[in-house]
Structure 1
Amino acid sequence: MTACKRRKLSPGAFSGREEYFNNPRFSDLTILSGDQKFYVHKVLVCAYSEYFSLLFDGDWNETRKNVVKLYEDDPQAVKAMLQFMYGIGYMRGDDLLAASVYVVSDKYLVPKVKEHALEKFYLGMKYPVGLNSLPSVITRVYAMTTKIHQELRDIVVSVALDRIYTLWKNKEFVAVNDTISLQEMHECLAWGLLSNLPVLSSLWT
């Protein structure tokens, strides 16, 4: 087992070095997620993630074998999180992926990726979302998050408040209105109305 201390990296560290990502040559750590396998470098992953840094400071089965299994997480979100560490762009035009990356990076204590994912999600939701897809986005975001991800949910609530009357007339939105995630969202909508939470349309200018 090799200990892994967190170190600050310069903004350009590994930037543009795509050949190092998921390349078994010189890799000293394998991350498994879903049916995907990612070859990465402990020095880089631990520098970004407090979770991995603490993991490799301990004596665990994963650290002895240098294989970490993240089977409970979205493989695409794990991939995007790791790609960010190597300076590779991701999440172009995919609001749900950005939300999923936010959740995964929060779980594994990767603040830089979490902040980037939140910004990506905000920018994606800042512009008008089609009413046909909005109910799906809202329900899926609430399904993948909990109350600890409030800043992500606030963005969704802002969009919903902006179109609340139209949403209640949407059959897809109403059809899932008795799910637990939607009940939580109803509470947030009520809170947003009572506290005058700004709607995103007021932020478009």
Structure 2
Amino acid sequence: MASQSSSFLFQLLHSGEYSDFTLVCQEQQFYLHKAIVCPQSPVITAALQGEFQEARTKVLNVEAFDVATVRRMVNFMYTEEYEVGYVHEASGSATGHETERTEVTEALLCHVRVNAIADYYNVSKLTQLANSKIQSILRDSWLAESFSHAVKEASVSTGDVALHDIITSTAAYHIEELVEFQSFADLEVMSEFSIKVLRSCARRICDIESQLQYIQSVCKKEAVRADRVIGNIDNCLRTLSACSNDLVVIQGELS
């Protein structure tokens, strides 16, 4: 039933039938329906119902975002999904790696821009979906260069706290690689001081990991040694028990 409903709404979107307001971005017009869009965006609702010009003209101009991003938001409002293309697995060739890097970067940037427009118009479910897609790429198709581009885009385009948390936690997880990556160090959000601190933290993490590996190695050796000692003790106890039995027999024969 949900799939049939989405299909119907998608057809309604593309036909423009029964449209009662228009979203305009760079001369591209989207003929939309308040009954579908307004429940998902209190910002658009306020613009169409208040004392603004949009309430009179039924035309809402979008200037802060590109057409592709607006289209993805609109598609989501009618289908609960949006597409940016596919991120392919890397091939073994240099060209393949370059293609993968470009695709991963473009996909991340598209999702960050979708997050930005969702945050701007307060479309909470779209914000969550965009963040989920961003997390999937960062988990399954990690590339430091692509991540750096995404950080740069997010720092200037969206105030979504959840996305900023995703970015900072991901940066912390990959900090050893990122602090040596020049495009990350060159980000405007990164000062020379903060980069030095992060590099010091990364070195400290490496030292702690080395110490942990050494301790684990020592513990493993001690565990093996303890097992060997316990085995020797068991052998000694069995020998003592056998000697004790022999002594009892000898005492019985003497008596």
Shorter-chain TM-score: what band?
Answer: 0.7 to 0.9
Query: Do residues 162 (structure 1) and 173 (structure 2) align?
Result: yes
Greater radius of gyration (CA): 2
Within the candidate set 162, 168, 173, 2:184 is matched to 173
AA at the equivalent of 1:182 = M
Identity of paired residues, percent?
24
Secondary structure, counterpart of 1:182 in structure 2: coil
CA distance in 2 between counterparts of 1:113 and 1:125 reads: 18
Higher deviation after alignment, 88-97 or 21-30: 88-97
Query: Do residues 97 (structure 1) and 110 (structure 2) align?
Result: yes
Shift of 1:45: 0.8
CA contact (8 A) 1:125 1:155 kept: no
Matches of residues 46-65 of structure 1 in structure 2 within 5 Å? 46-65=38-57
Q: Which residue of 1 aligns with 2:7?
A: 16
Matches of residues 38-117 of structure 1 in structure 2 within 5 Å? 38-87=30-79, 89-92=81-84, 93=86, 94-117=107-130
CA distance in 2 between counterparts of 1:47 and 1:83 reads: 15
| CA-to-aligned-CA distance 1:97-146 (integer Å, 9 cap, x gap) | 22221221122122222222222222222224123322222222223233
AA at the equivalent of 1:82 = V
Shift of 1:182: 3.2
Count the aligned residue pairs: 174
Shift of 1:160: 1.5
Q: Which residue of 1 aligns with 2:17?
A: 25
CA distance in 1 between counterparts of 2:152 and 2:51 reads: 40
Q: Which residue of 1 aligns with 2:190?
A: 182
Q: Which residue of 2 aligns with 1:201?
A: none
CA distance in 2 between counterparts of 1:45 and 1:14 reads: 15
CA distance in 1 between counterparts of 2:48 and 2:6 reads: 24
Q: Which has the higher contact order (CA 8 A, sep 6+)?
A: 1
CA distance in 2 between counterparts of 1:143 and 1:55 reads: 24
CA distance in 2 between counterparts of 1:109 and 1:145 reads: 11
Shift of 1:86: 0.9
CA RMSD of aligned residues (A): 2.7
CA contact (8 A) 1:98 1:121 kept: yes
Secondary structure, counterpart of 1:32 in structure 2: strand
CA distance in 2 between counterparts of 1:49 and 1:69 reads: 15
**5+ residue gaps, structure 1:** 1-9, 194-205
Change (3 A) 1:133 1:111: closer
Q: Which residue of 1 aligns with 2:154?
A: 141
Change (3 A) 1:140 1:164: same
CA distance in 2 between counterparts of 1:13 and 1:109 reads: 26
CA contact (8 A) 1:122 1:155 kept: yes
Q: How high is the TM-score relative to the length of structure 2? A: 0.60
**5+ residue gaps, structure 2:** 87-106, 202-255
CA contact (8 A) 1:96 1:137 kept: yes
CA distance in 1 between counterparts of 2:110 and 2:133 reads: 10
Change (3 A) 1:20 1:151: same
CA distance in 1 between counterparts of 2:190 and 2:31 reads: 38
